[in-house]
Amino acid sequence: MAIGYALGVQYSPLPVCGSGRVRTQCRQRRGVVSMSVQKTSKKASLAAEKLLHEFREASATPLPLLHQVSDAMVHEMYAGLSSDGGSDQLKMLPTYVENLPSGKEKGLFYAVDLGGTNFRVLRVQLGGKTGEILSQEFKEVAIPPELMVGTGKDLFDFIAGTLASFVDTEDDSLKSHSGEVRESGFAFSFPVRQTSVKSGIVIHWTKGFKVDDAVGKDIVKQFQDAISRSGHQITISALVNDTVGTLAGGRFNFEEETMIGCIIGTGTNACYVERADTVQKWEHPLPKSGEMVINMEWGNFRSPLLPRTFADEIVDRNSVNPGDQWFEKMISGMYLGEIVRHVLARMAEEAKLFGGYVPVKLLEPLTLGTPQVSKMHADTSPDLQVVAKVLKDVYGVETTTLEERKIVHDVCDIMGERGGRLAAAGLYGILKKIGRTGKAENGSKKKTVIAMDGGLFEHHEPYRTYMESALQELMGSDAAYEVALRLQNDGSGIGAALLAASHSQFT
Ligand code: BGC
């Protein structure tokens, strides 16, 4: 079997290595560098280079492929807008957000942001002018892992309790306009079929959450009941996906036209402003604004065009939702570390990367985090010292050659490049759908802003650079629109508070 084939999705894991590997490992641990080990490592690097080459090919995202991927995305968008279940990939969920913040929002609002392993509670005082936030405080809390796979009641009691104790720290000077009752937005970053701007049914969980008894029920009611149990008076005025919060925050902050909100963090997703009359499945009167924000849930895009490798297959198989969220598993932060680990483990076992030493921990799931991959990828030192340090700290690989470190760096680079470029193809698909691509007439360009948030986009600079340049490549040099990716920091939380303000029950 050709190696390229082996690196594609047909790979089956190797049997556990035998005593040969252990012997080499022991020798190296004692610091004895014998001739045989040196010879092995020479051969190893050739084999590793070969695997690397094949892995690069399997993950490649040349421009024509990106165009095809974005066309496939557009195709699924149309299908998803036509009827519920019209696309088995993109849910294209109407959000009931017909008006984005105008900038005139004013007063004290809270927000709860639940979307990953941490959640945040926020308090913001809006000033009434574009981008004016008079004060802002937040508290971030890690979700105990058992609550991520437990019952809805336990999860929401925990969240409501944290919100309630945060409300208790409110300064007297921050008078709420509604007396004792506080209003809060709820950024809930999982697929939800909304039934109004402040209610919606959980479709399923992603990103490692699996709270089965909450599925099929109104998420706001579950949260609101938990708030009542806490004895506090807090009303949830808006339920928003984190992408929608990010889009709302973008509209509030940036003067240019913000049309898309996109998250690339633990998970990934995008929403955008659609012409309401094109949403065929919408059965209610058309909104006065003529527009509607659509939550695509693009993480579940599963085009066969996506360049998947053996590592993607294993990661998918071992996840809590096998077969789902392919796009998310290829481009977002929750999975990047694990994909890189599988590739390195295979290289260590099959091609004797690290001279035949296979660190036991490298074979253990989830031992390489995306932040460590980001760090290694961003290493620009001539001798790749950061890569060396991560390999030593995480896997106890005491010594590595520059050649080996380059291979590790390249694996991180290949994955970062693939993720950034595929994300750009997704965004280009949306721009195409809303008519913001094509060539400029008379050389004049209009501007479109994409509000971005998420740890991977914010902190993984090489990924962001790949994404930006792929988007430019896709748009072309004579494009009618200049597209800017703008970081809308803490987009989801602030955006949820803003949408609570614009849907306030008290103003
Ligand atoms: C969820 C989306 C969310 C995205 C980013 C995905 O796993 O399904 O609703 O917007 O993560 O947080």
DSSP annotation of 130: T
CA distance 169 to 492: 22
Give pLDDT, residue 43: 59
Top mutation candidate among 113, 268, 452, 456 for ligand 1, by most atoms within 8 Å of CB: 268
Please identify, by atom number, the ligand 1 atom nearest to the C-alpha of residue 206: 7
Top mutation candidate among 90, 92, 95, 190 for ligand 1, by most atoms within 8 Å of CB: 190
Q: Looking at ligand 1, which residue's alpha carbon is closest to its atom 8?
A: 190
What's the 243 CA to ligand 1 centre distance in angstroms? 8
Give residues (CB < 6 A) around ligand 1: 115, 189-191, 206-207, 241-243, 263, 265, 267-269, 297, 299, 328
Give pLDDT, residue 362: 97
CA distance 340 to 498: 38
- Whole-number mean pLDDT of the chain? 88
Confidence of residue 405 (pLDDT cuts 50, 70, 90): very high
Q: Looking at ligand 1, which residue's alpha carbon is closest to its atom 9?
A: 190
What's the 268 CA to ligand 1 centre distance in angstroms? 5
Note whether 203 and 91 are within 8 A (CB). Answer: yes
**2 versus 172: which is more confidently predicted?**
172
What's the 190 CA to ligand 1 centre distance in angstroms? 5
For residue 258, report the phi and psi dihedrals to the nearest 5 degrees.
-95, 120
CA distance 198 to 499: 10
Give pLDDT, residue 179: 61
Give pLDDT, residue 490: 76
What is the location of CATH 3.30.420.40 in the chain? 93-254+490-502
**254 versus 142: which is more confidently predicted?**
142
What's the 263 CA to ligand 1 centre distance in angstroms? 8
Q: Hey, is 81 helix, strand or coil?
A: helix
Q: What angle do CA 400, 406, 411 make, to 5 degrees?
A: 115
What's the 187 CA to ligand 1 centre distance in angstroms? 11
Pick the CATH number of 62-91+255-487 from 3.40.50.2000, 3.40.367.20, 3.40.50.720, 3.40.50.10800: 3.40.367.20
Examine the pLDDT at 95 and tell me if it is beyond 70.
yes
Top mutation candidate among 113, 120, 206 for ligand 1, by most atoms within 8 Å of CB: 206
Of 213, 232, 455, 427, nearest to 332 by C-alpha is 455
430-462 pLDDT, tens digit each: 999 999 998 877 777 889 999 999 999 999 999
Three-class SS of 168-212: CCCCCCCCCCCCCCEEEEEEECCCEEEEECCEEEECCCCCCCCCH
109-165 pLDDT, tens digit each: 999 999 877 899 999 999 887 778 899 999 999 999 999 999 999 999 999 999 999
Note whether 422 and 69 are within 8 A (CB). Answer: yes
Q: Which CATH superfamily is domain 93-254+490-502 in?
A: ATPase, nucleotide binding domain (3.30.420.40)
Confidence of residue 177 (pLDDT cuts 50, 70, 90): low
Cα distances from 45 to residues 42, 360, 413, 436, in angstroms, run 5, 20, 18, 47
Confidence of residue 173 (pLDDT cuts 50, 70, 90): confident
CA distance 187 to 190: 9
34-84 pLDDT, tens digit each: 333 334 455 558 899 999 999 999 999 999 999 999 999 999 999 999 999
Please identify, by atom number, the ligand 1 atom nearest to the C-alpha of residue 325: 7
Q: Spell out the residues 6+ positions from residue 183 whose beta carbon is closer than 8 angstroms to its own.
A: 109, 110, 176, 234, 235, 236, 237, 500, 501, 504, 505, 506
Give pLDDT, residue 491: 78
Catalytic residue list: 120, 189, 242
Give pLDDT, residue 42: 56
What's the 66 CA to ligand 1 centre distance in angstroms? 22
Read off the pTM.
0.88
Alpha carbon 210 to its chain centroid, in Å, reads 18
Please identify, by atom number, the ligand 1 atom nearest to the C-alpha of residue 207: 7
Q: Looking at ligand 1, which residue's alpha carbon is closest to its atom 1?
A: 190
What is the location of CATH 3.40.367.20 in the chain? 62-91+255-487
CA distance 416 to 337: 11
CA distance 322 to 313: 9
Cα distances from 61 to residues 118, 420, 433, 472, in angstroms, run 32, 10, 21, 15
Give pLDDT, residue 2: 32
